[in-house]
Amino acid sequence: MEGAFKGFGPKAIPFLKALDFHQSREWFLENRDLFEKELRDPFGDLVETLTERFAAAGLGLRGDRKKSLFRINRDVRFAKDKRPYNRHLSAILSPDGTKMEQGVFYVHIGLERCFADVAWWQPEPALLLAMRKTIATQPDKFRAVVKALKKNSLELETEGCMKRMPRGFEHISEPDLAEAIRNRHFVVQHVIDPAGIHMAELVDELVDFTVRARPLLDWGRAIEGKVPEK
């Protein structure tokens, strides 16, 4: 198909390294064509190819090359670090194609690492509370999700979890449930080999990951559907 993802360009990561070294608007403008050819345009192809594949798999995730990509520019208004450019480029595919939804697919191509997440990231308070209550009151269902993810070689990330139990859940004593309730996010992650970003097969890899992460998507969506809208 027209615009099908064929891989990121061979200079995608070298471009990010050079941009990180220069951190200069003048350098970026001089090399904008390289950015677009090697990194941005292939990323747009990846988003739109994944949108078609996710639709075929019934995953309920979509995006497009204009709305889904995050800017390479950093927002430095309130940051101590005033470097103007990120060390990565990333994108989100979501149920409605915007960056405002929960239960999303996120892909990140960067200098430190390349990875993809399926995530309920920083859900708003009512949804997070509903997720925690579901874990506490329906532990068997939650454990079934964890078991299904483990069977698919995935596990929930625990980075950034609260050190203490949130108010109202102090009575939960089972270690696995307590750990889950302390989460601020519900995320599974797939590490991408940087050598593989240059090949069209990256699409198959990311679709396979997202299919394996479906138990988390389905669990969160069932809870989200019962949270009253504001």
pLDDT higher than 60, residue 1: no
Domains (range + CATH), the chain: 12-224 (3.30.930)
CA distances from 123 to 104, 186, 203 (A): 11, 9, 27
Per-residue pLDDT, 230: 58
Tell me phi and psi for residue 108, to 5 degrees: -135, 120
φ, ψ dihedrals at 66, nearest 5°: -90, -40
Phi, psi dihedrals of residue 129, rounded to the nearest 5°: -65, -40
Closest by Cα among 146, 145, 184 to 164: 184
On the question of pLDDT at 177 being above 50, the answer is: yes
3-class DSSP assignment, residue 196: helix
Whole-angstrom CA distances from 131 to 41, 136, 182, 225, 226 are 37, 9, 11, 11, 11
The β-bridge relationship of strands 114-120 and 88-93 is unpaired
Task: Tell me the pLDDT of the chain averaged across its residues.
Answer: 94
User: Is the distance from CB of 31 to CB of 72 less than 8 angstroms?
Assistant: no
Under the banding of pLDDT at 50, 70 and 90, the label for residue 2 is low
**Span 60-82, pLDDT tens digits:** 999 999 999 999 998 878 778 88
